[in-house]
Amino acid sequence: MTQRLNAQQIAAIFHASPAIRWLNIHVEQVDYENETLRVTVPMRPEFERQAGSGQWHGGPLAAVIDTVGDFALGMLLGQGLPTLNFRVDYLRPAVNTSLTVMARVRRIGRNVGIADIDVCNEQGVLLAIGRASYSTTSVNASPDQQGH
């Protein structure tokens, strides 16, 4: 059986990655039963679309979506997963707000897992939605297939 990741383990993985640490993602809730991961991300000047605008640039927002979707699956499978594909629909600007991001696992297959990700502002208004697919092959491979 695969070892699940708890909130502290996910936070440690986030902190160990320079790119994810730069995003400053805070794990708020790991829910194995509902297969969801909820995080918050504070706004920083480095994330602004234009200096002084307070508006999130789509790049950091997309990176957050990819990371949180990945670890919604990863918390159930015991590790981060390679991204196969993801898309983002930006619904409205994120301005002068921290983000609350909720990822929900839609499918965990032998080769591919899928997560849907909602991004909301501090008032709970939906700002963006994402869907991502991740490779689960390495999790399901036998030790000889992994090269061990």
pLDDT of the residue at 143: 45
| Length of the chain (residues) | 148
- Cα 80-60-98 angle, rounded to 5 deg: 100
**Order of strands, edge to edge, in the sheet holding 26-31?**
26-31, 36-41, 99-108, 112-120, 126-135, 83-90
| Whole-prediction pTM | 0.90
Domains of the chain from N-terminus onward? 7-140 (3.10.129.10)
* Rg value, the chain, Cα: 15
Region for residue 124 given its phi and psi (left: phi exceeds 0; alpha: psi -120 to 50; beta: otherwise): left
Taking only the tens of pLDDT, the chain with its 148 residues reads 569 999 999 999 999 999 999 999 999 999 999 999 999 999 999 999 999 999 999 999 999 999 999 999 999 999 999 999 999 999 999 999 999 999 999 999 999 999 999 999 999 999 999 999 999 997 765 444 443 3
Question: How far lies 23's CA from each of 29, 65, 135, in Å?
Answer: 18, 11, 23
pLDDT of the residue at 82: 96
Cβ neighbour number for residue 120 with a 10 Å cutoff = 17
pLDDT of the residue at 138: 76
pLDDT of the residue at 139: 78
Helix, strand, or coil (residue 103): strand
